């Protein structure tokens, strides 16, 4: 199967190639696409060398599937061209997520809704994916009515330029081409993506809107504060969730143990809880620090960590491709 990876030289694209190889996705011909700066550069995939090609060359090769991770503007412009040529596009940017004609897919929750008509499929935002995976079974059992989430997000969520900025600052240098408006090393920025008219950032509003869309439940009230921290390895989230039904903590633990994609990491007596260092390079969404909110009934506090480049981006996209393959929708 011909597979195009658009943004193949980026942080998400590089992880995408790793995940495709690890999961033995049946790639017969890889079409790695990047900007004009990188065309001709060699990358390695499954022991073979491939040259980075231009968008037009990849399109002309008519891949069965194209996985886009090269920013929203490129997805808006290029994804429809691939779709028109018969390629199924799985898009990691925010370009199509809230388009009512496009599906926003987390395979553990809503892969069954995919059909042959879905030519552009949106991968949700990384901070939304780990939240909804962690909540999936709990929401089915007790129905989440209100969620308050504060995030602690890795610099890898911003891309190569941000990792370079942090590493240069850490080495005592002034970053040449900073990704953020402030220093990130030894600092915390309550600012991810652009500010909106309502005072929230776009990242915060993505969590609100995408969660409702994925759970097909507009009644969920969610409020978020998204924060960048000088961390590599994964995003962390403090989640306070109020349910319609009363819950039992032992049952919550059992439900989380049974939740697809979740690993319960919760043994505080032995200082065991999820951390980005434990999530790095892994696909599981780690959940721990489970406790009742003692200030109001039916409310749970938990701590959720996942590698934003894996389940938050590459793994989720490849899982969507695997479902399409199983359903016979990739030609």
Minimum gap (Å) between residue 38 Cβ and ligand NAP: 3
Minimum gap (Å) between residue 307 Cβ and ligand NAP: 9
Q: Decide whether 169 or 203 has the Cβ nearer to ligand NAP.
A: 203
Minimum gap (Å) between residue 60 Cβ and ligand NAP: 15
- First-to-final CA distance of the chain: 8
**Helix, strand, coil distribution of the chain in percent, nearest 5:** 35, 25, 40
* Candidate list 31, 89, 93, 149; residue touching ligand NAP; CB under 6 A: 93
* Candidate list 18, 35, 167, 323; residue touching ligand NAP; CB under 6 A: 35
Residue with tokens 């610099």: 155
139 carries an active-site annotation: no
Minimum gap (Å) between residue 235 Cβ and ligand NAP: 8
**Which residues, listed in sequence order, are joined to residue 287 by a DSSP beta bridge?**
264, 304
Taking the C-alpha atoms of residue 112 and residue 167, their distance in angstroms, rounded to an integer, is 42
Burial class (CB in 10 A: 0-12, 13-18, 19+), 310: buried
182 carries an active-site annotation: no
Contact flag: residue 7 with ligand NAP (CB under 6 A): yes
Part of the chain binding ligand NAP (CB under 6 A), chosen from 22-30, 71-79, 113-121, 273-281: 71-79
Of 140-179, which residues contact ligand NAP (CB under 6 A)? 156-157, 159-160
Decide: 144 and 136 in contact? Cβ < 8 Å.
no
Contact flag: residue 320 with ligand NAP (CB under 6 A): no
Q: Decide whether 256 or 306 has the Cβ nearer to ligand NAP.
A: 306
Catalytic residue among 139, 182, 235, 280: 235
* Candidate list 10, 107, 230, 278; residue touching ligand NAP; CB under 6 A: 10
* Candidate list 19, 104, 121, 126; residue touching ligand NAP; CB under 6 A: 126
Decide: 105 and 114 in contact? Cβ < 8 Å.
yes
Decide: 186 and 264 in contact? Cβ < 8 Å.
no
Residues 6+ away with beta carbon under 8 Å from 38: 9, 52
308 marked as part of a ligand binding site = yes
Q: With left for phi above 0 and alpha for psi between -120 and 50, is residue 243 left, alpha or beta?
A: beta
Contact flag: residue 316 with ligand NAP (CB under 6 A): no
Handedness of CA 44, 45, 49, 54 (dihedral sign): negative
228 marked as part of a ligand binding site = yes
* Candidate list 27, 74, 131, 324; residue touching ligand NAP; CB under 6 A: 74
Residues 6+ away with beta carbon under 8 Å from 141: 245, 247, 251, 255
Please give the distance of CA 84 from its chain centroid, rounded to a whole number: 26
- Which CA distances in Å does 33 have to 63, 76, 87, 179? 12, 16, 15, 23
* Candidate list 87, 92, 136, 259; residue touching ligand NAP; CB under 6 A: 92
Query: Interface residues with ligand NAP (CB under 6 A)?
Result: 6-13, 33-35, 37-38, 55, 69-72, 74, 92-93, 126, 156-157, 159-160, 308-309, 312-313
Residue set of the binding site for substrate? 153, 228
Residue set of the binding site for phosphate? 97
Active site residues: 126, 235
Residue set of the binding site for NADP(+)? 9-12, 37-38, 178, 308
């Amino acid at each position: 199967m011909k597979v195009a990876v658009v943004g193949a030289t980026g942080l998400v694209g590089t992880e995408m190639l790793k995940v495709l190889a690890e999961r033995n996705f049946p790639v017969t011909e890889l079409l790695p696409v990047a900007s004009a700066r990188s065309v001709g550069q060699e990358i390695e995939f499954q022991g073979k060398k491939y040259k980075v090609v231009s968008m037009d060359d990849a399109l002309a090769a008519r891949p069965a599937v194209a996985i886009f991770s090269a920013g929203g503007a490129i997805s808006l412009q290029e994804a429809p061209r691939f779709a028109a040529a018969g390629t199924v596009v799985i898009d990691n940017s925010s370009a199509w997520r809230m388009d009512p004609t496009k599906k926003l897919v987390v395979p553990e929750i809503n892969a069954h809704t995919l059909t042959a008509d879905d030519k552009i499929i949106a991968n949700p935002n990384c901070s939304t994916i780990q939240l909804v995976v962690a909540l999936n079974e709990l929401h089915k059992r007790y129905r989440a009515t209100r969620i308050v989430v504060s995030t602690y997000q890795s610099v890898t969520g911003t891309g190569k330029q941000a990792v370079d900025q942090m590493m240069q600052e850490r080495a005592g240098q002034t970053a040449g081409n900073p990704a953020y408006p402030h220093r990130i090393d030894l600092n915390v920025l309550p600012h991810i993506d652009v500010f909106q008219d309502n005072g929230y950032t776009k990242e915060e509003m993505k969590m609100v809107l995408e969660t409702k869309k994925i759970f097909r439940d507009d009644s969920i009230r969610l409020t978020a504060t998204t924060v960048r921290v000088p961390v590599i390895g994964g995003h962390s989230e403090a989640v306070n969730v109020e349910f319609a039904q009363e819950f039992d903590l032992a049952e919550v633990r059992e439900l989380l143990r049974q939740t697809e994609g979740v690993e319960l990491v919760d043994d505080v007596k032995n200082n065991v809880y999820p951390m980005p260092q434990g999530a790095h390079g892994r696909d599981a969404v780690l959940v721990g620090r489970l406790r009742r909110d003692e200030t109001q009934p039916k409310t749970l506090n938990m701590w959720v960590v996942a590698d934003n480049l894996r389940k938050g981006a590459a793994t989720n996209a490849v899982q969507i491709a695997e479902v399409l393959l199983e359903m016979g929708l990739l030609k």
